[in-house]
Copies of this chain bind each other. A is one copy, B any other.
Amino acid sequence: MLVLVTYDVNTETAQGKRRLRNVAKACTKYGQRVQQSVFECEITSSQKLELIHELLEIIDSEKDSIRFYNLGSKYSTKVSHYGRQTHHPLDEVLII
């Protein structure tokens, strides 16, 4: 299934900047960066739980937030992109 991961990490401190890098690094193992703080991950439910666990180890829950959106397995018509392309598009995604 496609899981969208979006995050806000407070980067006012050096620790925050490190958390941001580590969140992105962790997400990269599970999927593809499509925008600055947005990853698309084609993963199983158990991989999703692993990712959640890994990210919760990284973030400061008082300062940062992470959202997960399940888009299911048939997602090509659910996703549309406009403007600058910053990644290799998923093969079926509708690019306008």
Interface residues of A in 50-96 (CB under 8 A from B): 52, 55-56, 59-71, 77-86
Oligomer copy total: 2
Chain B nearest CB from A78 CB (Å) reads: 4
A34's partner among B4, B63, B67, B77 (CB-CB below 8 A) is B67
Among residues of B, the one whose C-beta sits closest to the C-beta of A10 is: B84
For residue A36, CB closer than 8 A to chain B, the reply is: yes
Are A36 and B38 CB-contacts (below 8 A) given A4-B69, A78-B71? no
Q: Which residues of B contact A82 (CB under 8 A)?
A: 52, 55-56, 59, 61, 65-68
Q: What residues of chain A have their CB less than 8 Å away from a CB belonging to chain B?
A: 4, 6-8, 34-38, 52, 55-56, 59-71, 77-86
